[in-house]
Amino acid sequence: MRILDWLASSFSNRSKALSLYRRGMAKAKKHNHQGALEDYTTMIGMTSTPSDLLAMVLYNRALVYVATGDEPKGAADLGAVLAMNEALVNVKTMARQKLARMESRASKG
């Protein structure tokens, strides 16, 4: 019975979302920004993505948008993280810090 439980959990929504998240992170590390954006956006579009993972993927997609020069989309994703009640505190903190750095850089430029 444990094997069946393990198999069922490996195909769970969380497992699928984590797989996309990890794949997106690997692509972002290799500077495959388009591939990372596609994986992150797919995960965001999944209706059953757990809220804690959704916050993390929005944050990571924001980082990729900023890295590609699309700061408005990055800021929108960071704002979405901050608006989520279910987001983990550390993810919200990182989003707030990133937005502050972006605003500081914009005011200097």
Q: What is the pLDDT of residues 29-66, one digit of tens each?
A: 999 999 999 999 999 999 888 888 999 999 999 999 99
Task: Give the Cα separation of 78 and 98 in Å (integer).
Answer: 8
Rg of the chain over all Cα atoms, to the nearest angstrom: 15
Task: Give the Cα separation of 55 and 48 in Å (integer).
Answer: 13
Whole-structure pTM value: 0.86
pLDDT top residue among 17 and 90: 90
Query: What is the residue-averaged pLDDT of the chain?
Result: 90
- So what's the pLDDT on residue 24? 96
Tokens of 62: 């924001």
